[in-house]
Amino acid sequence: MKNPKVENKAGAVAVSTKKNSQLAAIMKRYMKNKLAVFGLILFLLLVVLAVGADLFADYEADAITQNMQNRLQPPSAEHLFGTDQYGRDVFARVLFGGRISLWVGTATILISLAGGALIGATAGYYGGKIDNVLMRIMDVFLAIPSILLAISIVAALGNGMMNLMIALSVSSVPRFARIVRSSILTVKGQEFIEAARAYGCRNGKIIVYHILPNAIGPIIVQATLSMASTILMISSLSFVGLGLPSAIPEWGSMLSEAKEFMRYEPYLITFPGIAIVLAVMAFNLIGDGLRDALDPKLRN
Amino acid sequence: MEHLLEIKNLHVVYKGDGALVRAVNGVDLTLDRGETLGLVGETGAGKTTTALAIMRLLPERTGSIQEGQILLDGNDITKASDADMRVLRGSLVSMIFQDPMTSLNPTIRVGEQVGEVLELHHKDLGKEEIEKRVDEIFKLVGLPPERKSEYPHQFSGGMRQRIVIAIALACQPQLLLADEPTTALDVTIQAQVLELMQRLKEKLHTSTILITHDLGVVAETCDKVAIMYAGEIIEIGTVEDIFEGREHHPYTVGLFGSIPDLEKKERRLHPIDGMMPDPAYLPEGCKFHDRCPKATERCSAQAPSMHMWESHGIRCHLFESGREKTE
Amino acid sequence: MSVPIVETKNLKKYFRTSRGDLHAVDDIHLSIEKGKTLGVVGESGCGKSTLGRVILRLLEPTEGEVLFEGQDICRLPARQMEKMRRQLQIIFQDPFSSLNPRLSVSDIIADPIRTNKVLSHKQEIQERVVELMHTVGLSDRFINAYPHELDGGRRQRIGVARALALDPQFIVCDEPVSALDVSIQAQILNLMMDLQEERNLTYLFITHDMSVVKHISNQIMVMYMGQCVEVAPTDELFQNPIHPYTQALLSAIPVPKLRRDRGKRQLIRGEVTSPVNPKPGCRFAARCPYARPDCTGEAIPLTERSPGHWVSCVL
């Protein structure tokens, strides 16, 4: 061009030289939000405790094996959270219960995210009849309260970890499908999508490479917030006896069993209760923090 | 005679994310009754900020007038209370925004939106009186009064801008700030709206500051022109000075060189290279020096002051000792 | 006269709406010679952007043909159309929404190359991207930048680089400078004209700005409510506009010169409505100062008034 030197001089704009500057900017915004950072720390703590549960207790000996001599011991140096009516260590059970909640929760979210993204993206991108048919089916699922839906699925399929995951996933797919679809609709109309079509991009690549990364913000937020509600659902289902077999340590079933002893042994219900509250709070805080950090309009 | 509007050494800053954005850096401006001033410049030159400062509508948290005076009808409004400003806005000074789609409330009938301004400023008027005035204003801007009970979405773009003008002129302000009033409109509609504004100006004797990037619009409607660059007025004068005068600021020359001439055939345009500096990091000396084809050492060190001959002023070292030295 | 590289015949695009068919593009015949520019002007909603998209087959036409080097691209099967797309590119108006905000500059420019497997080695692609950036006057220090970090002018240059990445022959330019400030606008116009000369590119240049279209076009087509009302070589159109709409359009342009008769122009009444189930005849008749009874009722064909100057008007 006529005067290429200008290109190096006049532009006093800060430009990223590293490739992942967007990620860094999002991290920076996230770290500014104290509550969100607190949520993240809480979450990491829960993960460490759940993953490293074996360091603190023995699964078979402390959490599963019944030990009737030791039943209903109040909290002490030996049993930090006391023991339950079968003499099992509550601290150990809360730790291992965290494993179940986090694992089932994560798996459920991943399954429903994949399903929801597929359905939502197809509906949003192609529009028209496909959109109508898919979204009306989703509406049917949404019309049933998700806990009721999960209960009926588990009731039909029977107890067990796998069935629990299926039940929870089916009931949260519609929410993901809706949110993916609406994100895609806003991105779809932009000119860079047309540009991609003009240079021969096929539909699959357009959805995966050009649309989804731009729609990822609301989806991540929905995922973290759903994580919180899924943990609650697991506990609720276990509480009513439709989750996992009662021998397996799980926060909800612990609450369920402890309710008979609430009056004289309140610690039995307190500790799993606190665990649920902390986990749900961690995910809600992270979700809110991410929503703000990912929204470019709320930059400052 | 006293000027209707006199701006002295106005500085406006925005405090953003750490950086201090110097949007307006020492603007001096006067406007007399019945005059139309064209405020010209590119995006980010500080035109709209100047207008918002006159309205005292700068975003509260981030924007502030750092220095300077704005004398409106002799009173310094930089010191006026919010309550006083609410009275002034609409009755003494009002503003038209660029986008007629978003400056009207979509859920209120257009007649009521015009009537609301009247109600606010003339508390003594009865309901019927207001209705009568609304009808008059509608006729004045070329809208059928029968349509006053319709909603904004039922009107086309040009009609909507007429409604916006009607609202702005409802209380017959003495000063009208029009921020790119025709940019969003098609040319034939733009011509209609400009013609309307011209007619209203003659009839109501309103002074107008017309903010635009379109030199064509300025040539057709303005008496005076001020060209802004990086928050400063770099050239000011009558339309004759700017469009027919021989001496110009190098930036003005570049601005004219960027517009394809309808009458001449030229293969290449002659724009200014580069672009406006980031107002958060303004260069030392003359703010235009790093794009200026005539820049010298001095330009990067010392900021030029405005050199005036009669009505024409240029902020450039080249014109320090008069006009003759330039060519 | 050389053979046209792009031609449309009887091209129509109707959109179905609840009130009836919207005739966005109605019976457009055009032809552009290689290396030339056809300017398409008209007000918003006249169908000019739709026309550009139908010509690139980003929208399927309701009727008619789009010929590229004599071949009807609307009848090409999907595979062959993908190959054809390399020849036909588009530059958009909005420098914000036309670039994917999540991709870096190098990915934006490289994507057409990767998609069409023109080059496969990472190194080669990178070199090509740098070369393209230099072609459009962008410093390669922006190669890892993201669109939001750049200003409108630079962003528009990226859009041009992306369009050039596949070495196309024909580019639809949809208001490429309308969103830019005048000095940046002039930089981009110069760039586009230089590129046209160097690479013998053919442009369909869509705009509402008469002075821009005059500057860049060899031939101009004026559209009104989906139809072509006048088409002529650029100088001829400006010196001798025949259709009343063209005349009104030309007289409405604000010229940056002082005129003695300023403020006194030929204004046309009313505004454009959308062409839903339009009646036969001239669509401009309702606003036309010279309208006569025979303007409506039956279709008014384009007639050649002087060589290459076609007008659709009864006058």
| Overall average pLDDT of the B174-202 stretch | 87
In total, the C-beta contacts within 8 angstroms joining chain A to chain C are: 95
pLDDT (0 to 100) of residue A26: 81
SS (H, E, C) chain C: CCCEEEEEEEEEEEEEECCEEEEEEEEEEEEEECCCEEEEECCCCCCHHHHHHHHCCCCCCCEEEEEECCEEHHHCCHHHHHHHHHHEEEECCCCCCCCCCCCCHHHHHHHHHHHCCCCCCHHHHHHHHHHHHHHCCCCHHHCCCCHHHCCHHHHHHHHHHHHHCCCCCEEEEECCCCCCCHHHHHHHHHHHHHHHHHHCCEEEEEECCHHHHHHHCCEEEEEECCEEEEEEEHHHHHHCCCCHHHHHHHHHCCCCCCCCCCCCCCCCCCCCCCCECCCCECCCCCCCCCCCHHHECCCCCCEEEECCEEECCCC
Mean pLDDT is lowest, of A228-237, B70-79, B308-317, for A228-237
The CA dihedral of A292, A294, A295, A300, to the nearest 10 degrees, is: 60
> Closest-CA residue in chain B for A8?
B274
Number of compact structural domains in chain A:
1
Q: Which of C249, C262, C268 lies nearest to residue B220, judging by beta carbons?
A: C262
Q: Which chains touch A (3 or more CB pairs under 8 A)?
A: B, C
Q: What is the ipTM of this complex?
A: 0.86
| Chain C residues lying within 8 Å of A21, measured CB to CB | 144, 146
Contact criterion met (CB < 8 Å) for C253 and B216: yes
Q: Which residues of B have a CB under 8 Å from any CB of A?
A: 16-17, 273-275, 277-278, 281, 283, 290-291
| Overall average pLDDT of the B305-310 stretch | 88
CA distances, A228 to each of A183, A277, A283 (Å) = 22, 9, 5
> Closest-CA residue in chain A for C154?
A7
Does the residue C156 lie in any domain? yes
CA C219 remoteness from chain centre: 12
Domain that holds residue B260: 5-92+173-326
| Chain A residues lying within 8 Å of B281, measured CB to CB | 12
What totals of helices (H) and strands (E) does chain B contain, helices first?
A: 10, 12
Residue C154 to residue A7: CA distance in whole angstroms = 10
| Overall average pLDDT of the B127-135 stretch | 91
Is residue C134 packed enough to be buried (19+ CB in 10 Å), middle (13-18) or exposed (0-12)? middle
What is the Rg, in whole angstroms, of the alpha carbon atoms belonging to chain C?
21
Does the residue C259 lie in any domain? no
Six-digit token string for B219: 């040539």
pLDDT (0 to 100) of residue A71: 80
Single-letter amino acid, residue B295: A
Contact criterion met (CB < 8 Å) for A13 and C149: yes
Q: Which of C153, C184, C214 lies nearest to residue B260, judging by beta carbons?
A: C214
Single-letter amino acid, residue C181: D
List of E strands, chain B = 5-15, 20-31, 36-40, 63-72, 75-76, 93-96, 175-179, 207-212, 224-229, 232-238, 306-309, 312-315
| Chain A residues lying within 8 Å of B274, measured CB to CB | 6-7, 9-11
| Chain A residues lying within 8 Å of C97, measured CB to CB | 190-192
In contact, C224 and C42? CB cutoff 8 Å: yes
Identify the sign of the CA torsion B122, B127, B129, B133. Answer: positive
Q: What residues in chain C have per-residue pLDDT under 70? A: 1-2, 260-266
Q: Which residues of A have a CB under 8 Å from any CB of B?
A: 2-3, 6-7, 9-13, 299-300
pLDDT (0 to 100) of residue B102: 83
| Chain C residues lying within 8 Å of B213, measured CB to CB | 181-182
Domain of A187, CATH number, reads 1.10.3720.10
| Chain A residues lying within 8 Å of C149, measured CB to CB | 13-16
Contact criterion met (CB < 8 Å) for C102 and A201: no
Domain of B321, CATH number, reads 3.40.50.300
Six-digit token string for C129: 């991207």
How many C-beta atoms lie closer than 10 Å to residue C122's C-beta? Answer: 10
Chain B nearest CA to C186, separation (Å): 5
CA nearest to B37, candidates B29, B45, B48, B25: B29
Q: Is the pLDDT of residue B324 over 80?
A: no
Domain of C231, CATH number, reads 3.40.50.300
pLDDT (0 to 100) of residue A11: 39
3-state secondary structure of A227: helix
B310 or C28, higher pLDDT? C28
pLDDT (0 to 100) of residue A1: 37
Q: Which of C189, C214, C248 lies nearest to residue B269, judging by beta carbons?
A: C189
A274 or B267, higher pLDDT? A274
CA nearest to A232, candidates A288, A273, A260: A273
Q: Which chains touch B (3 or more CB pairs under 8 A)?
A: A, C
Q: Which of A13, A195, A210 lies nearest to residue C98, judging by beta carbons?
A: A195
CA nearest to C273, candidates B185, B183, B156, B151: B156
Q: Which of C181, C208, C263 lies nearest to residue B186, judging by beta carbons?
A: C208
Q: What is the pLDDT along chain A (300 residues), one digit of tens a residue?
A: 333 333 433 333 445 444 556 677 788 888 888 999 999 999 999 999 888 888 888 887 777 888 888 888 888 888 888 888 888 888 888 989 888 888 888 899 999 999 999 999 999 999 889 999 999 999 998 898 888 888 888 889 888 888 888 888 988 899 999 999 998 898 888 899 999 999 999 998 999 899 988 888 888 888 888 888 888 888 888 888 887 777 788 888 888 888 888 888 888 889 989 998 999 899 989 988 888 887 655 543
Does the residue A64 lie in any domain? no
Does the residue B161 lie in any domain? no
Number of compact structural domains in chain B:
1
pLDDT (0 to 100) of residue A57: 81
| Chain C residues lying within 8 Å of A7, measured CB to CB | 137-139
How many C-beta atoms lie closer than 10 Å to residue A295's C-beta? Answer: 14
Single-letter amino acid, residue C204: L
- Is the minimum CB–CB distance between C197 and chain B shorter than 8 Å? no
Contact criterion met (CB < 8 Å) for C141 and A205: no
Number of compact structural domains in chain C:
1
| Overall average pLDDT of the B144-155 stretch | 89
Six-digit token string for B315: 């902020």
Q: Which of A2, A6, A13 lies nearest to residue B278, judging by beta carbons?
A: A13
Q: Which chains touch C (3 or more CB pairs under 8 A)?
A: A, B
pLDDT band with cut points at 50, 70 and 90 for residue B188: confident
User: HSE-up of B53 (CA within 13 Å, CB side)?
Assistant: 34
pLDDT (0 to 100) of residue B322: 66
pLDDT tens-digit readout, C37-53: 999 999 888 889 999 99
Residue B211's beta-bridge partner residues?
A: B39, B179
Average model confidence (pLDDT) across chain A: 83
Average model confidence (pLDDT) across chain B: 88
Tell me the CA end-to-end span of chain C in Å, nearest whole number: 30
CA nearest to C115, candidates A194, A206, A30, B93: A206
Six-digit token string for A286: 């992270």
Does the residue A1 lie in any domain? no
| Chain B residues lying within 8 Å of C214, measured CB to CB | 260, 262
Does the residue C81 lie in any domain? yes
3-state secondary structure of A28: helix
B36-40 vs B207-212, strand pairing mode = parallel
Residue B70's beta-bridge partner residues?
A: B7
Domain that holds residue A131: 27-56+84-298
Domain that holds residue C130: 4-254+266-311
Cβ neighbours for A34, distance < 8 A, ≥ 6 positions apart: none
Contact criterion met (CB < 8 Å) for A15 and C150: yes
Does the residue C228 lie in any domain? yes
Global confidence as pTM: 0.83
Does the residue C260 lie in any domain? no
Residue B8 DSSP label: E
